[in-house]
Chains A and B, each alone.
Chain A
Amino acid sequence: MKWESVIGLEVHVSLSTKSKLFSGTASNFGAEPNTQANIFDLAMPGTLPVLNEAALTMAVRFGLAIGAEIGKYSVFDRKNYFYPDLPKGYQVTQLDFPTVGKGSISINLEDGSEKIIGITRAHIEENAGKSLHEDFSDQSGIDLNRAGEPLLEIVSEPEIKNAKEAVAYLKKLHSIVRYLDISDAIMAQGSMRCDVNVSIREQGETKLGTRTEIKNINSFRFVEKAINSEVLRQQEVIEDGGSIVQETRRYDSTKNATSSMRSKEVANDYRYFPEPDLLPVVIDDSFISSIRSELPELPDAKKERFIEDYGLSAYDAGVLTSSREMADYFEMVVQTCGAPKIAANWVTGNLQGTLNKLELDIAASPISAKDLASLISRIKDNTISSKIAKTIFESMIDSDQSVDAIIEQKGLKQVTDDGEIERLVIQVMEENQSQVEQFKTGKEQVLGYLVGQAMKISRGKANPEQVGQLLRQKIEQAI
């Protein structure tokens, strides 16, 4: 039997407002427990919420970025349940009238094609606190620093077909919210979290199968693995004659398997009703258009521009625009050295490789855009060869010296002097006579070998283009 999976994602991103959603408390990551909780966050009797307008603005920014309908009339609701890290005994969220309505984003599939994923809605809600079970024997600690932080919950349509698409979708969301500067979206710190709804059905079937929800997955890699393992599990259950139970599951990365948390039958009745302590939020066109006018260039538009203006491949443009920081870095390099294609190769190649190895963000790159641009300029003006450039690049990682100083100091300046090149070519021809003969008989590829020998002798400093030309000239003359 052929199966297909249907996946929908609920993604929570913490909005990076200075203070919480309904109180003036700061909301920084990593503060001492309960140092960022005021009387409202503690749900002291008599305290009341006041909406942080910055959170609303950020939600609208997101909505406009995904081409969504903006809820001009949005309503906060109370979602009631008891848990020690939920001080009021209810979470304030938006049920029927969210700030962001239907929209969509495009993702790139592995075959290079594009796919549009619908977004059902995105609503503003408050985060809960954190229970600390490990630090106290026989007791649980509660840290309310996080309680009341603004979250944007982004709900996708069930239009994602497999784990790879899910990850592509997540990465795109990650990129968008970071471009918009509305969230750090760091999965490891919980500022981006993901619940995955998975169901399977026979290929060709149009009805959706029973879904399970995998809660709180905290890395892109685990999202992929969790979906794959859950899809497999569902297939096995059905193929063994069983049926899927609608339930919440958790993913255990050490076992690479999901397990049941609670089933729908014992699920909470949240008794939603409109939050009477807050008025409905009414926003007008001028509020929306002022936010629209301040929207930054978004990944898709930037990618198009990179292809158009810089002549980059779609792939390179996609990689370079996947984060705003990388795109900015790239553009700064190009502005200084004026060689977009070489710059793209360096940024996506050596630089990215180095950053990965050092586990650094491009914002913390040991080589500044300006320095990389000087390096590329020296390649362009033939001061150094590409090969030598790689050596210089390695030196630049641990050095504060300028590119020119390194070239000077290490004597890496490219040999372009015709006389020297000619001496080099003659030496190579003498030492590699059989290869020269082969070239004469038409074996073109031998030329590369001969150039390589010249480079070796010159320790990379000879200009390979010049060497190649002269070699060809001399051998052809000799025929």
Chain B
Amino acid sequence: MLEKTVVELSEALKLRKVSSVELTRAYLEKIGTKSKKLNTYITVCDELALTQAKMADQRLAKGEKNPLLGIPIAHKDIFCTKGIKTTCGSKMLENFVSPYNATVVSKLNKAGMVTLGKTNMDEFAMGSSNETSYFGPVKNPWDTEKVPGGSSGGSAAAVAADLCAIATGTDTGGSIRQPASFCGVTGLKPSYGRISRWGMIAFASSLDQAGPISKSAEDAAIIMNAMAGSDDLDSTSIRAPVDDYTASINDSLHGIKIGVPKQHLTEGLSIEVEESIRQALQVYEKLGATIKEIDLPNNHLSVSAYYVIAPAEASANLSRYDGVRYGFRCSQPTDLEDMYKRTRSEGFGSEVKRRIMIGTYALSAGYYDAYYQKAQKIRRLIKNDFDAAFKTVDVIVGPTSPHTAFGLGTTTDPVKMYLEDIYTIAVNLAGLPGISIPAGLVGKLPIGMQIIGKDFAEAKLLNVAHKYQKETDWHKMKPSLDFGD
């Protein structure tokens, strides 16, 4: 039962084949026995989950038909959850209990979802392997010697290992798509502004975006219907109307134009990944799509621009963790400066500190124009590249990551780690939606395919992803679940 999709579980709940309480208990039990080794959850909320499940069962009994009602979900520990620890993967917030719910959490609570717990993540979402978490790395359920990807590694691994039905994640430079790729699940990063950021702990405000990690594109469409929409509490959320993401999911792909960036199928890409993407393109051709090579000439600048803009914003966003009002405070500070210095030195991990320093440097007097301003110009160029491409194609398809999941502890050079996101980062800089879906296996490790759409074309992305999933079974592949404890 636990391996089922939201669509399937919803049907079972409606037909009373299972109750939300039973389902929730089953997940909680599995989390209790199986999650420890994978380290997917930072906090498990047994009590809250069972209370919510009971309420969901009451609503189901009354005949309510919401497809999310009673479905157990895991939230990335970057979303504030009222009365529950919200750590953001950091010692700084190890014991922080949020006084309020993120908009995403409120919306999903209202839809009747059951919160199983809070998933592990790279500290403040800064990382591509989940190894920067203060609570230790998450392990990839397909191979526990491998990383699950990051920063939403806990959510992706929990979905892959059936430790929840679906999960939330956030994506600043690839943090939903890359772990989805590594864990063989579906991960959607919506357009910037499509989902409220209120209550989502900020890493880089102009890039951060929440999205679902799920077992299918159809599940993602269903939860997007509840997550998307403007929010008066988030000035950067978009007032544009929200599509019904399930309405067009079965539309024919006949005549659709798919662009393949020549920059995404070049050196550095593993042969197996390239082969899988080419096979996927053949599937699309069979579905009536035409494939066209496109040019994203400034793609190679995206990682550099990103690693100026994101740390610059982060350096300010993380200033609030100063030991004054909440969160970690160093012991026995001698004076204010000592408190600041030691609180932040001891409370943040090394990757977070590295990025704060990069960002602080990039914004400093005398460097601002050369770094921050220039990066913003590149960002504009990258957006222009996509705009030009979308004049001739409907969606862009390529690999999510150059390779499959890499070994835990093997990538210690920060710059090499940053290059992990070479295919995903430009999408954030341009504010576009992107989805990663499973498209093959190398040995026992999944390969992810990324589909990029025009601004607010999530419905189209989900349609293109869903049609592929109807033709293939890659998204149904499961890791051999012998990761035990």
Contacts and interface: CB of A to CB of B under 8 A. Distances in A.
Interface in B302-336: 312-313, 315-316, 318-320, 322, 324-326, 336
Interface in B173-210: 197-202, 204-206
Interface stretch (B153-161, B227-235, B264-272): B227-235
A271 B96 CA distance: 29
Contacts, number: 101
A80 B363 contact: yes
Contacts of A276: 204-206, 236, 313
Contact of A46 (B201, B235, B322, B364): B201
A352 B324 CA distance: 49
B197 A88 contact: no
A90 B316 contact: yes
B320 A45 contact: yes
B320 A43 contact: yes
B44 to A, nearest CB: 21
B197 A48 contact: yes
A48 B198 contact: yes
Given A39-B100, A48-B197, A80 B235 contact: no
Interface string A116-160: 000000000000000000000000101000000000000000000
Contacts of B98: 44-46
A80 B361 CA distance: 13
A48 B360 contact: no
B320 A271 contact: no
Interface string B208-241: 0000000000000000000000001111100000
- Interface-central residue, B86, B96, B102, B319, by most chain A CB under 10 Å: B319
Interface string A22-51: 000000000000000001001111111111
A277 B322 contact: no
Interface string B67-95: 00000000000011000001010000100
A94 B204 CA distance: 20
Nearest to A278: B235
A42 B321 CA distance: 11
A238 interface: no
A141 to B, nearest CB: 11
Interface in A255-277: 269, 271-273, 276-277
B474 interface: no
B268 to A, nearest CB: 31
A100 to B, nearest CB: 21
A279 B237 CA distance: 10
B365 interface: yes
A45 B201 contact: yes
A51 B234 CA distance: 10
A174 interface: no
Contact of A89 (B88, B102, B322, B368): B322
A150 to B, nearest CB: 16
A277 B235 contact: yes
Contacts of B232: 50
A39 B93 CA distance: 16
The contact size tier of chain B is 35 or more
A52 B235 CA distance: 11
B102 A82 contact: no
B41 interface: no
A90 B202 CA distance: 14
Nearest to B80: A46
Given A43-B320, A89-B316, A48 B235 contact: yes
B363 A45 contact: no
B99 interface: yes
A90 B360 CA distance: 13
B99 to A, nearest CB: 6
A78 interface: yes
A87 interface: yes
B292 to A, nearest CB: 34
A273 B312 CA distance: 9
Nearest to B318: A89
A76 to B, nearest CB: 10
A335 B242 CA distance: 60
Contact of A271 (B197, B201, B336, B363): B363
Contacts of B423: none
A383 to B, nearest CB: 64
A39 B205 CA distance: 18
B206 A45 contact: no
Contacts of A51: 235
B310 to A, nearest CB: 10
B483 interface: no
A39 B199 CA distance: 10
Nearest to B193: A279
Interface string A74-106: 000010101010011110000000000000000
B376 to A, nearest CB: 9
B202 A46 contact: yes
10 contacts: A43-B325, A44-B100, A45-B93, A46-B80, A46-B197, A50-B234, A87-B325, A88-B320, A89-B318, A277-B202
Given A46-B197, A46-B199, A277-B202, 10 more contacts: A44-B80, A46-B79, A46-B200, A48-B198, A51-B235, A89-B316, A89-B319, A271-B363, A273-B316, A278-B236
Interface of A: 39, 42-51, 78, 80, 82, 84, 87-90, 140, 142, 269, 271-273, 276-279
Q: Which 8 A-B pairs have the closest CB atoms?
A: A89-B319, A276-B205, A271-B363, A276-B206, A43-B320, A46-B199, A45-B201, A46-B80
Interface of B: 79-80, 86, 88, 93, 96, 98-100, 102, 197-202, 204-206, 232-236, 312-313, 315-316, 318-320, 322, 324-326, 336, 340, 360, 363-365, 368, 372
